[in-house]
Amino acid sequence: MADDTSPREPDVTREQAEEAVRTLLRWAGDDPQREGLLDTPKRVVKAYREWFSGYALDADEYLARTFEEVEGYDEMIVLRDIEYESHCEHHMAPIIGRVHVGYLPAGKVVGISKLARVVDAYAKRFQVQEKMTAQIAGCIQRALAPLGVAVVVEGEHECMTTRGVHKRGVSMVTSTMLGSFREDARTRAEFLQFIETASRGR
């Protein structure tokens, strides 16, 4: 069963979106008719199409094609340091970070680029990091039915660094562990050791 953020068509026109940007420019205290801002609404709307392209993507579809010819391979598969860019749904400020994904296959695997695409499908939406972490793990669990799934997300939230408390250099870490990663401390420790090694190497 797919999650509740399946693709949907926006009911707002491009012209309406551009006018909303002009309203925000006026609210900020500037004049959207001055030369430097004349094309800003078009640029912002175009940027939004890119930043929030995840709403037009179905993450489950990326994992629909799996491979079962793995010669009995049943050890952990880990994809580390998947970079992502998202936006906080509370302040619309950027969240920049990395995702680490691991799973224990139960007879089938998926192309690793598809895992990165799943991350993008959820990251390119207005997000809460905790929710995004669970969404990525749930998608992998639904598609592959593995013995276990582990997802760790690191993120720097500009809603905290550029406003409010103005604390820089602070990152948030969230995790979702399913199946054997939740139940078996040794499996969980092995995964965390893999990603800790990656972090030390940066």
Q: Choose the catalytic residue: 18, 100, 127, 129.
A: 129
Instruction: Based on the residue annotation, tell me whether 166 is a catalytic residue of this protein.
Output: no
Q: Choose the catalytic residue: 88, 100, 135, 154.
A: 88
Tokens for 7?
Answer: 């693709």
Instruction: Based on the residue annotation, tell me whether 100 is a catalytic residue of this protein.
Output: no
Q: Choose the catalytic residue: 61, 85, 89, 196.
A: 89
Q: How far apart are CA 118 and CA 153, in angstroms?
A: 13
Among all chains, which residue has been given the structure tokens 């408390």?
A: 165
Q: Choose the catalytic residue: 15, 83, 90, 193.
A: 90
Environment class of 181 (CB within 10 Å of its CB; exposed 0-12, middle 13-18, buried 19+) = buried
Q: Choose the catalytic residue: 61, 85, 91, 141.
A: 91
Of residues 110, 120, 116, 134, the one with CA closest to residue 182: 134
CB within 8 A of 194, min separation 6: which ones? 76, 78, 80, 100, 102
Q: Choose the catalytic residue: 141, 159, 190, 196.
A: 159
Instruction: Based on the residue annotation, tell me whether 139 is a catalytic residue of this protein.
Output: no
Instruction: Based on the residue annotation, tell me whether 90 is a catalytic residue of this protein.
Output: yes
Q: Which residues carry out catalysis?
A: 88-91, 129, 157, 159
